[in-house]
Structure formats: C-alpha cells, structure tokens
Amino acid sequence: MAGDPGVRLLALRCDALVDATTTAIEDLVDYFDADLIYIVEEKLDMRTVSTVERTASCPVIHTRSSAVHTETVDGITVSIASSIDFIGGASTASGQGLPDDVDYVICDEIQTNADSVTLEASLDGLEHLARFQHRTDREATFLTGAMEASYDFVWKADVDDESVRLPVRGLAPTRRQGAPELACISLDSGGRIAVSTTPADKFGLRALSGVGKGTAPKLSRNGYETRDDVAAATERDLREVRGIGESKAQSIRQSAHALSEGCVIRLTDEAVPAADYSPLFIDIETDGLNPSIIWLIGVYDPETDEYVDFIDTEPSRDNPGKATREFVAWLASEYDRTSLIAWNGHNFDFKHLSRFIRGHAPEYADYWSDSVFEYDLFDWAVRKDNAILPGRTNRVEDVAEALGHGRDSAAAAVDGKSLAKTIQRLLVSPERARDVDWDTARAYCEADVRELAAVYESIAEATPGHKRAGAPADENTTQTGLMDF
C-alpha cells in the first residue's frame, strides 16, 4: 500500500485478530506497511501484542508500555497518552505530559457519552483537550481507540474566552457483517486524515475466495502455508484436501493466482462493457450514501488522457444541483452519444445523477436517458462472475493498487467518507469552509476515475480462459461462481 502521505498508523485491537495465524499477521503487517502500529487498550492481549512485535519492523505501541510515548516520522509527531491526565492536566507540569509541537494525540480515554434523558452527547476529557489545544501553537488532532475509525467530529470548547477546535477521530476496527475491518490511518502534517479499512479475515490463506475459518487450517495441515503454495499446486492436489471439491479447488487456485500475481483472471468471454463506444470514466462526491447534494463530479477520457471536473466550492442545500447542471450541460455539448463507466454505478453514481438531473436539470433528462449509456464495471466483473480481481477488497482503489496503480500522496491524503462528513458539517455551518481542501478533494476524485480506467484496461486485456505459462495441465480458468473477497 505504497504512495500514502505522512505517517501510516495501523490500529489493531487484539480481539479482531483472535483467529489470525502467525502467517496471517505477517501478511497483515506486510500489506499495510505502516510506520507505526498502535494496539488499542480495549481487549489488550499480550500474546497477540508479542506476535505483532516479532513480525513488525516499525514501532509497536500500546498504553501499557509507557505513560506517554512520542514518535516523530517525516516531521510529523504522534504522542500516545495512557491517560487523559497527561493531556493538558496537572501531570504536564511534572514533565510527563505531551510535547507542545505534537500533531496527533492518541488516548483511549477520549470517548463520547450520551445523556439518557436529554440525549445530548458529551466528550470525556474535553477540558483537558481544550487546555492543551489552547496553549499550543498548532492544532492537534485527537485519536482514540475507544471509538470506531468511522467516528469523525470537531468538538469546540471555550478557554479564557477563546474558542478552540478539537478534531477527534476514531481508531478502533469498524463493525461489519462478518469480520471487523481493521483501520489504517494516513496522517499528514496539515491534519488531514485518510482512513482505509480491510476485513481482519482477508489475510493469509483466508484472503482467498472460498477459504474460510474451516478450510484455512485444512490447507495448512496439508502443507499449504501461503497463497503462493496454493497457486503452485494443481487442482488435483487441492482436491485431495478433505472438503475441497472440483469447483472449490478451481476457485481457490484462481484466487491464489490473482492475489499472488496481482492480475485479473477473466472467467468468461463476455464482452467488457461499452465495447461499442469509447467510454468515459466517472465518479461523484456527495454528502453521504443518501445524498442531499452532489458537490463534485469527475470525468476522465482515456482517449485524450484528459480529466475534467465540476465542483461546487460553495455547497448549499438551497442549490444542491449546481455541479450536476454544469456537468450535464458540458456532456451534452461535447458528446452526442457516449458511454459512462462507474464502479458500483447502478447502486450509487448513476442512481443519484439521474435523480439530480431530473430534479435540477430537467431540460437534459431526455438527453440523459436516450443518449448516455450507463455501465457498472463492478457489477459486470464481480456480481455477474465475469472476473476474479486481485484486491483484498473489491473497492476500486484496492483493486487498482493490487494491479500496480497506487495513488499519489495528494490524492491519498483524504478518503471519501471523511470528505462526505466534512461537507455535512459545511452544509450546517458555512463558516467551516476552511475545513475543506478543495484541491485535495479534486485530486482524490481524479485518482478514483484514473484508477477505474486502469482496472477497466486490465480487465479488457485479460484473455478469457488463458492458461498462464507453466500452468498445470488440469487447470481450467473458465470457472463461474465468484465469492466477494
């Protein structure tokens, strides 16, 4: 996962790794390639900590190692405090507190509480954080393993009649159906944070399609310790493992090749979408999964290698269709007929663009329905079982990186959820416009569409049914039936 800016902080909670083998933890550490690993205080298990420490080449920190621990990486300072008392409290005077030039402070005692009567939320340690923030020259961001990595809120407090901002972000694994998702957080010198999550069961052998909690140890007991071991086996070999039949052996082996070789494996000879038109690749940025505004639309034309975007830098619920109107007017003027390709577009990009065009640019509704053809590459490749992709998840950025198309540092400084939450805050409080780095947002959107184009090209160039050089004679790569890995 190269190319990210600043400090890469991997946050681990021991209970998320309870089923992980040493090989899986080695794979996890190698995959995230973190500068620092922080072990969350909750559910701390020193046996797991020891395994991570033996595996990692970067510092591994937890609150029981010291009262305050500070690391500086590439000029960015991160301090871990075992107690709120060490943040702006009395202990600071005794020299046990935080350095004044710290950029990020981790403390798991920072957490929210809700009053059961008033339903109002409060922040534990608010006064300590505010005192520390008030006396330092820079604005620190506070991180806590007591809340999930999806938590992102800017608290405010008054100190000596001055208002201070207290950005608070969560670190703990996010809860999903199945395994929790581990969070790797990129921290830059400007306080910008990008969060990348990966399911805890997508490492080691369990990263393979069809290999779950029961199959992984069976493979290991039969001598298949790594994905490369599985990729080197024949399907006949794999069928000798108890519980693995012909179809499953083929699926597991294909998945092993996709991950080990960083390649797409085409399962069918069905034409890749938009074969009749030169496609444009598109991505939209909104204020959430059920958007009230589309504030950025990015379009990439691979034929001309040109990127163009339509951005509303003064987003308002009174005028939520500004970017949409500019985009569809441009599209109609430049292309009589065109194909648009998005990732998961049927469920998001196309769904909401169509709604916004009908509501805010109705004069282009006929053009959109009659002359614009919508294709969802994720739907074609994954849901319709036409290809196996090499990412640990099926997010386009993960697939693109596995294919060798990592994004640059400017684009990696933020993530989509963080941008959406920033816009949510901006819509409520326009004075928070300074929270948005518009250039970084545009770089993020451009990276998305260029990565989408790279994934499309890799899928289009993969030969259906192609047998790799040196492949065993019993290999058949036209298996249908892909699990979402």
The set of residues, in sequence order, having a beta carbon less than 8 Å from that of 456 and lying 6+ positions away, is 272, 279, 281, 341, 377
Do both 36 and 131 map to the same domain? Answer: yes
- What per-residue confidence (pLDDT) applies to 179? 82
Same domain membership, residue 255 and residue 401: no
pLDDT in tens, 439-483: 999 999 999 999 999 999 999 999 886 433 333 333 333 322 222
Check residue 168 and give its pLDDT: 95
| Higher pLDDT pick, 408 / 206 | 206
Residue 204 has pLDDT above 70, yes or no: yes
Q: Is 297 inside any structural domain?
A: yes
* pLDDT over 50 at 1, yes or no: no
pLDDT exceeds cutoff 80 at 16? yes
What confidence score (pLDDT) does residue 96 get? 61
In a domain, 484, yes or no: no
Q: Give the bridge partners for 88, in sequence order.
A: none
Phi, psi for 169 (deg, rounded to 5): -130, 145
Quote the pLDDT of residue 414: 86
Do 28 and 48 have their domain in common?
yes
pLDDT at 4: 47
pTM for the whole thing?
A: 0.86
Looking at every residue in the chain, the average pLDDT score rounds to 88
Pair (195, 208) in one structural domain:
no
Q: What is the mean pLDDT of residues 371-396?
A: 94
- The count of domains in the chain is 3
Task: Return all residues near 26 (Cβ < 8 A) that are at least 6 apart.
Answer: 55, 204
Please tell me whether residues 184 and 210 are part of one structural domain: no
- Give yes or no: residues 311 and 369 share one domain: yes
154 and 97 co-located in one domain: yes
Question: What whole-number distance in Å separates Cα of residue 189 and Cα of residue 191?
Answer: 6
Same-domain status, 384 and 308: yes
Residues 157 and 19 in one domain: yes
- Checking if the pLDDT of 408 tops 90, the result is no
Q: Is residue 479 part of a domain?
A: no
End-to-end Cα separation, the chain, in angstroms: 18
- Of the pLDDT bands very low, low, confident and very high (cuts 50, 70, 90), residue 2 is very low
Comparing 433 with 191, the larger pLDDT belongs to: 191
160 with 241, same domain: the answer is: no
Residue 98: the pLDDT is 84
| Mean of pLDDT values over 191-212 | 91
Domain limit, last residue, from 177, 199, 221:
199
For residue 313, the domain's CATH number is 3.30.420.10
**Domain membership flag for residue 468:** no
Choice among 143-152, 164-173, 432-441, 442-451 with the minimum mean pLDDT? 432-441
480 is a domain residue = no
**CATH code at position 223:** 1.10.150.20
Q: Is residue 165 part of a domain?
A: yes
- Give the bridge partners for 183, in sequence order: 11, 197
CB distance 294 to 320 below 8 Å = yes
**What's the pLDDT at 292?**
96
> Is 293 found in the same domain as 439?
yes
Residues 445 and 424 reside in one and the same domain: yes
What pLDDT does 5 receive? 57
Q: What is the pLDDT of residues 261-315, one digit of tens each?
A: 999 999 999 989 875 677 999 999 999 999 999 999 999 999 999 999 999 999 9
- Residues facing 68 on adjacent strands: 81
Residue 75: which domain range?
Answer: 7-199
CA distances for 182 relative to 15, 179, 282, 359, 463, angstroms? 11, 9, 28, 39, 34
Q: Could you tell me the pLDDT band of residue 433, with boundaries at 50, 70 and 90?
A: low
Percent of all residues in the chain with a pLDDT value above 70, rounded to a whole number: 91
Give the pLDDT of residue 89.
59
- Give the CATH number, domain containing residue 194: 3.60.21
342-383, pLDDT tens digit by residue? Answer: 999 999 999 999 999 999 999 999 999 999 999 999 999 999
Per-residue confidence (pLDDT) for residue 465, from 0 to 100:
60
Which pLDDT band holds residue 76 (cuts at 50, 70, 90)? very high
* In the predicted structure, residue 90 carries a pLDDT above the cut 50: no
CB 16 within 8 A of CB 41: no
